[in-house]
Chain A
Amino acid sequence: MSQQPLTSDSNVSREEILEVANLARLGVDENTASSYADDISKVLTLMETLGNVDTEGVKPLSNIHEVCQELRADVAKHDINRERNQSVAPAVEDGLYLVPQVIE
Chain B
Amino acid sequence: MSELHLLSTQQLIAGLQDKQFSSLELTDHYIKRIDALDGKINSFITHTSETARAQAQAADEMRAQGDKRRLLGVPMAHKDIFCTQGVLTTCGSKMLHNFVSPYNATIVSNIDKAGMISLGKLNMDEFAMGSDNSSSYYGTVQNPWNLERVPGGSSGGSAAAVAAGFVPVATGSDTGGSIRQPASFCGLTGIKPTYGRVSRFGMIAYASSLDQAGSMGRSAKDCAYLLQPMIGHDPRDATSIKYDMPDYVQDINDAEAAAGDKPFDGLRIGVAKEYFSKGLDAEVETAVRAALKKYEELGATIVEVNITDPEITLATYYMLAPAEASSNLSRFDGVRFGYRCENPTDLVDLYTRSRSEGFGPEVQRRILTGTYALSAGYFDAYYTKAQRIRRLIVKDFDEAFADCDVIASPTSPTPAYKLSEDLDPATMYLGDVYTIAVNLAGLPALSQPVGLTSDGLPVGLQLIGQYWQESKLLSTAHLFQQHTDHHLQSSAIAKKAV
* Min CB–CB distance A70 → chain B (angstroms): 7
Question: Is B69 part of the contact surface with A, judged by Cβ < 8 Å?
Answer: no
Given A17-B368, A89-B336, CB of A24 within 8 Å of CB of B98: no
Chain A residues within 8 Å of B, Cβ to Cβ: 1-6, 12, 16-17, 20-21, 23-28, 36, 39-40, 42-51, 53, 55, 58-65, 67, 69-72, 81, 84-85, 87-91, 97, 99-102
Given A26-B355, A42-B425, CB of A58 within 8 Å of CB of B391: yes
- In angstroms, Cα B236 to Cα A70, docked, is 10
Mark out the residues of chain B between 299 and 357 whose CB falls within 8 Å of any chain A CB in the assembled complex.
309, 311-312, 314-316, 318-319, 326, 330, 333-340, 344-353, 355-357
**Contact assessment for A12 and B372 in the assembled complex, using a CB-CB cutoff below 8 Å:** yes
* Min CB–CB distance A30 → chain B (angstroms): 14
* Min CB–CB distance A72 → chain B (angstroms): 4
Q: Which residues of A contact B206 (CB under 8 A)?
A: none
A-B contact list, 26 entries, CB within 8 Å: A4-B381, A6-B385, A12-B372, A23-B371, A24-B371, A25-B351, A26-B355, A27-B357, A40-B368, A46-B315, A49-B312, A50-B316, A50-B382, A60-B387, A61-B388, A61-B390, A61-B394, A64-B442, A88-B338, A89-B336, A90-B335, A90-B339, A99-B335, A99-B347, A100-B345, A100-B349
**Contact assessment for A50 and B340 in the assembled complex, using a CB-CB cutoff below 8 Å:** no
- Of B346, B365, B388, B390, the residue contacting A40 (CB under 8 A) is B365
**Contact assessment for B99 and A88 in the assembled complex, using a CB-CB cutoff below 8 Å:** yes
- In angstroms, Cα B442 to Cα A61, docked, is 12
**Contact assessment for B195 and A59 in the assembled complex, using a CB-CB cutoff below 8 Å:** no
**Contact assessment for A97 and B394 in the assembled complex, using a CB-CB cutoff below 8 Å:** no
Given A43-B425, A50-B385, CB of A24 within 8 Å of CB of B367: yes
Q: Which residues of B contact A42 (CB under 8 A)?
A: 424-426
Chain B residues within 8 Å of A, Cβ to Cβ: 98-102, 195-196, 209, 233, 235-236, 238-239, 241-242, 309, 311-312, 314-316, 318-319, 326, 330, 333-340, 344-353, 355-357, 359, 364-365, 367-369, 371-372, 375-378, 380-382, 384-392, 394, 424-426, 429, 441-442
**Contact assessment for A71 and B238 in the assembled complex, using a CB-CB cutoff below 8 Å:** yes
Q: Which residues of A contact B349 (CB under 8 A)?
A: 100
**Contact assessment for A27 and B355 in the assembled complex, using a CB-CB cutoff below 8 Å:** yes
- In angstroms, Cα B319 to Cα A51, docked, is 13
**Contact assessment for B352 and A27 in the assembled complex, using a CB-CB cutoff below 8 Å:** yes
**Which B residue's beta carbon lies closest to that of A3?**
B377
- In angstroms, Cα B199 to Cα A87, docked, is 25
Q: Which residues of B contact A88 (CB under 8 A)?
A: 98-102, 336-338
* Min CB–CB distance A37 → chain B (angstroms): 9
**Contact assessment for A64 and B441 in the assembled complex, using a CB-CB cutoff below 8 Å:** yes
- In angstroms, Cα B395 to Cα A59, docked, is 12
Q: Which residues of B contact A43 (CB under 8 A)?
A: 318, 369, 425-426, 429
* Min CB–CB distance A33 → chain B (angstroms): 9
**Contact assessment for A53 and B364 in the assembled complex, using a CB-CB cutoff below 8 Å:** no
Given A50-B316, A58-B392, CB of A26 within 8 Å of CB of B424: no
**Contact assessment for A2 and B389 in the assembled complex, using a CB-CB cutoff below 8 Å:** no
- Of B312, B352, B356, B365, the residue contacting A53 (CB under 8 A) is B312
Most central of A59, A69, A88, A102 by chain B CB within 10 Å: A88
Q: Which residues of A contact B235 (CB under 8 A)?
A: 70, 72
